[in-house]
Amino acid sequence: MSPEPIDITKLSYEERQIDIITAVEDRRNLVHLFVQLVVSQYSLVFQIERRRAVKTSQFVVKPTAPAPDAPKKAEAPVDADFASEAMFRAEAEKDMDEEEELFNVEESLPNPETYSWEDKYRPRKPRYLNKVHTGYEWNKYNQTHYEYVSLSLAW
């Protein structure tokens, strides 16, 4: 079942420059790709479950303003963000050019005002569903003056 050996003299120069991958390296790459796929599938399922929980909830929670002297929690990066975080830190540690300057000063924004009428007009689930009767009454007059066509569904 092994492939026949390739005659190297018939290969082009570009094909001869391609790196040769051993079976162990190929297996390691496949396992790494599989692990990435499983992690992305898990995170997608987790996001879908969170959205479903929010969708089925009856009440929409309004965000509250944090206390001014409460310490802010630092969020830990997710597994998928480690590579991008490392690239960001490496770029941030580089020396700046003459035309560059830092923009790392955070501006505190005032908390938005809340109004008493906001809860009244927030979106919520309907209490009932209006149904419209769209049927047609096929009485004796309509039977004699109009053509009756039977609508049967064939399954």
**Of 75, 88, 78, the residue nearest 44 (C-alpha):** 78
Report pLDDT for 155.
46
Report pLDDT for 98.
76
- Alpha helices by DSSP H, listed for the chain, are 13-16, 23-56, 82-92, 140-145
* Total-model pTM: 0.27
Q: List per-block mean pLDDT (blocks of 10 residues) for the chain, which spans 155 residues.
A: 82 86 90 88 84 74 66 57 81 77 74 78 76 73 72 49
Report pLDDT for 28.
92
Cβ atoms of 60 and 122 closer than 8 Å: yes
